Amino acid sequence: MSNEPPVTTQSFVKFETEHIMPIPESERRGTSWGLFAIWFGLNMMPLTVVTGAVASGAYGLPIGWSIFAILLGNVIGGFGAALHASQGPHLGIPQMLQARGQFGYQGGSLFALIALVMFVGLFVSILIVAKEALVIVIPELDGTWVIIGFAAIGILICIVGYDLLQKMMIYLSMLIGVTIIVSMVMMWMQPEVTSQHAEAAFSSEGFFAMVAIGVVWQLAYAPYVSDYTRYLPSKTGPKRAFWMTYTGLVASSVFVMMLGVLLGAANAGNPLMALSDHLGGIGVVILVIFAVTSVLINGVELYSAVMNGLTVLQTSFKRLVITTRTRVLTTIGLGAVATVIALLGQGDFMTTFESFLMLLLYVLIPWSAINLADYFIVVKGHYKVGDLFRRDGGRYGRWNWVGLTSYAVGLAAQVPFMITPFFTSPLAEALQNVDIAWLVGFAVTAAVYLVLSRVTATGKRLKAAADDESAAMLPSR
């Protein structure tokens, strides 16, 4: 008989079975550089290019001011997203499920539903922009079937789960990084693009609106950054999770949006068309790479939509048990809904997308302020994760009126300063349409939440429970 150990095989990609439950230490196969690749690669897509083009195209800012506004907004917003990401290795749960700790078991589902709508919207947006990139190259293609095919690929990737997404993003980030560099260098060499256009001029409205778009671009990642950092071993530590997320998100966002600024200056109406117009055959190849990689990247958006969808389902249906079958069916269902929306929304995309970004900012800001204030100041990261899955909410209750009241006050505080396609407040007009609503909303929400947590019975109870748990973790002398 042979004394050699039996040969074991392990598949290259592990099919996900953990769903929204806490990730056990034995299953935490994520790496710091894999995390960096996810966030660096996720921004390498046409949608980021189109967002950067808003500065020079829609707002008519000069190239220099456009880049400065994009840099400032992303640097600021990236801190918020990365602070949320630092929570993942410690808690091991999806980001928006943790909202139960601030809003209660039932209250948290409201914010999971908001995040679900956001991720479906981003999935739809990427489908439309990827379709447009490919149709520019091959005008004979039927855009409807392109969207359906692209959506099917994203759905299949999402069904496999996190492990495939992480491995895929490592290779895609390298491929698209080279593509972006080539595009940037060649566009900078086009005098008709980089020369100052007569109609380009600085405006405070355009500059600060673009700063706000940079902030919301980063904060749009906040509701799902922990969906991926939860796969890091707990010994990784919050600082490494923070910096891998921050550098990956900010570096890629700014870099790709800079290309968008050049393309917007070249063709304000259709910035992607500028690639083929100014770069010829190479531009066509770049558009094809953009289209294909966007389809693959889009699985990340759908994955987070599914995590929030499962959170809402678990909250809403008492007898529902979340299984692999539930996750797969939810993925197919949400993917189908998003595909239908994309098919119906192929018209004036740029205007619709800009409006979507601004409304998203106003909705996300109060939630972000509450989550960060609670995690880092009130309970200092000491959550009882088991209670987050109890139907009565455990120590967090079914509805946490401290969190819900703070959110409502923060949302209301933004209204006098809001600038939307449907409503521009009188104070915003007095400020020459400079959008400071998000700054006011963050500060007011955080302040109200901290005060209410200190003075109310609910806040005192949660603070005391967190202090007890923290003390129990200290080594005995």
Residues facing residue 424 across a β-bridge: 419
Tell whether 401 is covered by a domain: no
**Measured CA distances, 214 to 67, 76, 113, 354, 411 (Å):** 11, 8, 24, 12, 20
Tell whether 432 is covered by a domain: no
CB 359 within 8 A of CB 414: no
Q: What is the pLDDT of residue 83?
A: 94
Q: What is the pLDDT of residue 351?
A: 58
**Measured CA distances, 10 to 13, 14, 15 (Å):** 8, 9, 12
**Residue 380 DSSP code:** T
Residue ranges for the chain with pLDDT beneath 70: 1-19, 162, 166, 193-199, 346-358, 421, 457-477
Tell whether 200 is covered by a domain: yes
Q: What is the pLDDT of residue 115?
A: 84
Tell whether 375 is covered by a domain: no
For residue 362, give both structure tokens: 């106003």
Length of the chain: 477
CB within 8 Å of 157: residues ≥ 6 apart: 164, 165, 168, 296, 299
The CATH number given to whatever domain includes residue 41 is 1.10.4160.10
Q: Which structural domain, as residue segments, surrounds residue 232?
A: 28-361
Tell whether 217 is covered by a domain: yes
Tell whether 477 is covered by a domain: no
Give Cα 378 distance to the centre of its chain: 25
pLDDT in tens, 52-81: 988 988 888 998 999 999 999 999 999 999
Tell whether 382 is covered by a domain: no
C-alpha 353/C-alpha 127 separation (Å) is 13
pLDDT in tens, 177-200: 787 788 878 888 877 766 656 567
Q: What is the pLDDT of residue 464?
A: 65
**Residue 394 DSSP code:** G
Tell whether 295 is covered by a domain: yes
Q: What is the pLDDT of residue 9?
A: 40
C-alpha 327/C-alpha 307 separation (Å) is 8
Total domains present in the chain: 1
